[in-house]
Chains A and B, each alone.
Chain A
Amino acid sequence: MKSFLGIFRSLPLLEKTVEKCLILLRPRASRLVVQLHCKYGVTKTHNLAFQECERLQAVFDTQRCASQLCAPARVLAEAVVHFPPTLAEVTLGAGPGGKLSLRNYVEDETELKKTMVTELWLAEDEFQTVAVVPGSHITFCLKEFRGLLTFAEASNLPLTIHYDVPGRPVVFTLDDAVLEVHLVLATLSDTESNLQPPPTNGVSHPPAPSDDFADDLESYMIAMETSAYEEGSGAPPSPTFPLRTPHPAESDPEEEEEEEEEGAVPGTPPHKKFCSLFFGSVLMPRGPSLAPTQEVLAEDSDNEY
């Protein structure tokens, strides 16, 4: 990622000199080729090595999320500046009177007596749409959210937040004519709601954490899917494969695009059309055995109850 960014480091310079940019993927040679065709016939070719990794697919359906919020990215960005940069998680909650709150998540009582707790209230009219379950709240990672906000603010897009009960993923979406971004973040599950596995929502079953890990983020899955399709690029979309999609396929072309992403099986040849970028899959390793066998662990803990 770093070397890829390096190519585009100096935007003003690139805008002045580069006439077109060609990005090719050479799977045989494990190379991503970026060619910058500059003025005076200069061509800069960057060969980037890559490793094919197992694709982590976030399974989500924004339609089925109980709560939904939409606000200009600026409002949210102004809201998160009040939190310290080192803060790991924030809790978003729907309070009385349609107000929405953001507060820093503090793990336990003893810490509560040492940490400064910051809470911010946003009135309903600062949002474009508010359709939330009263009293609902979710806790998620602030760092990734900040990253997305920076991006959204730069592109001046409204950000929509879809969420359900604690423990179910929260989906942040940005929509535009040429760009569609989905950021799926795990949310912290409630200690109380652990007693019963959360409703399955027709998709993958999230592992119910064992008691010891009650406060951990369930699955450290952060996937950012960026699907950018340039209009008039001429390339026909790749044929749609029959997919085992969790929800009925819709005819909306954008939806199809998204489902193709979701339905991809590990090992599928990389898409020709666009890139799918993953921002690291594991945030805080909690012991080596946990991550790969999480589902099995969950089954055990369920039996205990």
Chain B
Amino acid sequence: MRFRAKIVDLACLNHFSRVVNTIAKLAKACTLRLTAGKLYFILSDKVANGGVGMWCELCQGNFFDEFQMEGVAPEHNEIYLEVVPENLSRALKTAQSAKAVKIKLTNKHCPCLRVAVELPSLSSSSRIVTHDIPVGVIPRRLWNDFREPNVPDFDVSIYLPVLKTMKTVVERMKNLSNSVVIEANLSGEMNLKIETDLVSVTTHFKDLGNPPWASVDECQDSAQDRDLESMAEARIDIRKLQQLLAGQQVNPTKALCNIVSKRIVHFILLHEDVSLQYFIPALA
């Protein structure tokens, strides 16, 4: 099992650290899956995570100048690592002016991701900072836990309003309630609602548009013959939603959400070379 990668370009480095920062805001620990072409940050929707799931996918070619990996076996050319994204984010934080950043999988006293940062210095030779981030190597028999989640059989799929606006609204609502009802219909309307004994607040968003899902996909037929005006709703933990919105450091080109009535809300944030899916289960 081998892995080494190198980033030289500053823009790529900043972009990569923004992605890592976003992940660090969403998950304390997550799985880093490495394949020849892609990197994945995965949080499987176990009960321990409060049922929240995350799937973030990035093409290595758009970030790394060098990327070599060798999985456990040629037919399973993948590496699964358990990492604390906060560590990775911290290691990259002080690398903003780096000449080069190398990431390497090492095994000295324990398996580590070694992030070696080459920084400019006042003298002729450059400063080298290395961060050894302890990781857990996930054995192959557990890999099945980290499969790409399917797009759920949603009732309504809708584009999200500008995330910043949504974030402000949700942050205000968070002071009033622990949960928020997110509801939407197929005519581009979405509402965020909180209802407590004292107060009810609803924020209405209009003309958001509904993404066209290929109707060939059979699983989406519950959305097919649906009344355009009727709302599908799910009540979710407001902190989880707020976390997702506040942690966004990568400005997505497209943001949408799929609502499975009373079951789950599936967020998809798309960027040119990064995609982030986030699942928040509905509260009972």
Residue from the list B91, B94, B127 in contact with A116, Cβ < 8 A: B91
23 A-B contacts (beta carbon < 8 Å): A75-B121, A79-B127, A82-B94, A82-B129, A109-B109, A112-B110, A112-B134, A113-B110, A116-B84, A116-B134, A117-B132, A118-B132, A119-B131, A119-B132, A120-B128, A120-B130, A121-B129, A123-B123, A123-B124, A123-B125, A125-B123, A125-B125, A126-B121
* Chain B min CB distance to A125 (Å): 4
Given A81-B94, A120-B129, decide whether A114 and B121 contact each other with a Cβ distance below 8 A.
Answer: no
CA distance A27 to B45 in the complex (A): 67
Q: Do the beta carbons of A118 and B131 come within 8 Å of each other? A: yes
In the complex formed, the residue of A with least CB distance to B130 is: A119
Contact (Cβ within 8 A) B109 A113: yes
Nearest-neighbor residue (CB-CB) of B88 within chain A? A116
A116 touches B125 (CB 8 A): no
Among B84, B91, B121, chain A packs the most CB atoms within 10 A around the CB of B121
Kindly identify, within residues 119 to 144 of chain B, every residue whose CB is under 8 Å from any CB belonging to chain A: 121-125, 127-134
Residues on A with C-beta less than 8 A from B110 are 112-113
B134 touches A114 (CB 8 A): yes
Once A84-B90, A121-B127 are accepted as A-B contacts, the answer to whether A115 and B121 lie under 8 Å apart by CB is no
Q: In the complex, what residues of B have CB within 8 A of residue A121's CB?
A: 127-129
Chain B nearest Cβ from A72, distance in angstroms: 8
17 extra interchain contacts, Cβ-Cβ under 8 A, other than A120-B127, A126-B122, A126-B127?
Answer: A82-B131, A84-B90, A112-B109, A113-B134, A114-B134, A116-B84, A116-B91, A116-B132, A118-B91, A118-B131, A118-B132, A119-B130, A119-B132, A120-B128, A122-B121, A123-B123, A123-B125
B275 at the A/B interface (Cβ < 8 Å)?
A: no
- By secondary structure, the B interface counts as mixed
Residues of B within 8 A of A81 (CB): 94
Complex interface residues of chain B between 32 and 67 (CB less than 8 A to chain A): none
CB-CB contacts below 8 Å: A119-156 with B: 119-123, 125-126
Bound state CA distance, A125 and B125, in angstroms?
8
Interface 1/0 per residue, B128-167 and A, CB below 8 Å: 1111111000000000000000000000000000000000
Give A90-129 as 1s and 0s: 1 = Cβ < 8 Å from B's Cβ atoms. Answer: 0000000000000000000100111111111111011000
B87 at interface by CB-CB < 8 Å: yes
* A112 to B131 CA separation, bound complex (whole angstroms): 13
Cα A105 to Cα B122 with chains together (Å): 26
The answer for the CA separation of A81 and B129 in the assembled complex, in Å, is 11
- What B residues does A117 contact at CB under 8 A? 112, 131-132
Return the 10 tightest CB-CB contacts between A and B, nearest first.
A125-B123, A123-B125, A117-B132, A116-B87, A113-B110, A120-B129, A82-B94, A126-B123, A121-B128, A118-B131
Number of interface residues of A (CB under 8 A): 20
Q: Which residues of B contact A116 (CB under 8 A)?
A: 84, 87, 90-91, 131-134
Q: Is the pair A75, B122 in contact by a Cβ cutoff of 8 Å?
A: yes
Chain B 191-228, CB within 8 Å of chain A: the 1/0 string?
00000000000000000000000000000000000000
> Is A115 touching B90 in the complex (CB atoms < 8 A)?
no
List A residues at the B interface (Cβ < 8 Å): 75, 79, 81-82, 84, 109, 112-123, 125-126
Q: Which residues of A lie under 8 Å from residue B91 when comparing CB positions?
A: 116, 118
Residues of B within 8 A of A126 (CB): 121-123, 127
Measured in the bound complex, the distance between the Cα atoms of B108 and A113 in whole Å is 10
CB-defined contacts of B127 to chain A, threshold 8 Å: 79, 120-123, 126
Given contacts A84-B90, A125-B124, A126-B123, contact A118 B129 (CB under 8 A): yes
Closest to B125 in A: A123
Which B-chain residue is minimally distant from A123 (CB atoms)? B125
Q: Inside 8 A of A84's CB, which chain B residues have their CB?
A: 90
- C-alpha gap A118/B133 in the complex (Å): 9
Q: Which chain B residues border A79 with CB–CB below 8 Å?
A: 127
* A contact residues around B94 at 8 Å (CB): 81-82
* Per-position binary interface string of chain B over residues 82-95, scored 1 when its CB falls under 8 Å from any chain A CB and 0 otherwise: 00100100110010
B39 CB to closest chain A CB, in angstroms?
A: 19
Q: Is the pair A115, B122 in contact by a Cβ cutoff of 8 Å?
A: no
B125 touches A118 (CB 8 A): no
A131 to B240, CA, bound (A): 54
Complex: A81 Cα to B109 Cα, angstroms: 26
Distance in angstroms between the alpha carbons of A113 and B129 in the assembled complex: 19
CB distance from B139 to the nearest CB of A (A): 17
Chain B residues lying within 8 Å of A112, measured Cβ to Cβ, are: 109-110, 134
Nearest chain-B residue to A79 (Cβ)? B127
Q: Chain B: which residue is nearest A84 at the CB level?
A: B90
Max count, chain B CB within 10 A of own CB: residue among A79, A118, A119, A120: A118
Q: Is A119 a contact partner of B134 (Cβ separation < 8 A)?
A: no
> Which residues of chain A are within 8 angstroms of B87 by Cβ–Cβ distance?
116
Q: CA–CA, A123 to B125, complex, Å?
A: 7
**How far does the alpha carbon of A120 sit from the alpha carbon of B98 in the complex, in Å?**
14
Please indicate the chain B residues that have their CB under 8 angstroms from the CB of A119 in the complex: 129-132
Whole-angstrom distance between the Cβ of A301 and the nearest chain B Cβ = 30
Which residues of the other chain, B, contact A120 by a CB distance below 8 angstroms? 127-130
Chain B residues in 8 Å Cβ range of A75: 121-122
